Amino acid sequence: MKPYEVLLHRRVERKLYTLPKSLLRRIYQLISELEINPVPWRKWDVMKIRGEEDVYRIRMGSIG
């Protein structure tokens, strides 16, 4: 069992069907990493959201 559970919003799940397979592979890698390490600073571009407690964004680069 993984130490953390990653939940995706319904809109995100629907959007995944429209993305290219190469990007889906990167998203799957990210989700797998988040299940082990909730804030993977070294491997991904992670930044804390100002004014929020324990809320972060992860940038993956351009989609196109």
Which pLDDT does position 41 carry in this prediction? 80
For the domain that residue 30 is a member of, what is the CATH number? 3.30.2310.20
Does residue 48 fall inside a structural domain?
A: yes
pLDDT tens profile 9-62: 899 889 999 999 988 998 899 889 889 988 888 888 888 889 988 888 888 766
Residue in 62, 60, 63, 64 with CA at minimum distance from that of residue 29: 60
**pTM more than 0.85:** no
Which pLDDT does position 14 carry in this prediction? 92
Does residue 4 fall inside a structural domain?
A: no
User: Dihedrals φ, ψ of 39, to 5°?
Assistant: -135, 80
User: What is the C-alpha to C-alpha distance for residues 15 and 4, in angstroms, rounded to an integer?
Assistant: 23
CA-angle at 56, arms to 43 and 4, nearest 5°: 70
Structural domain range at position 14:
10-59
Q: How many domains does the chain have?
A: 1
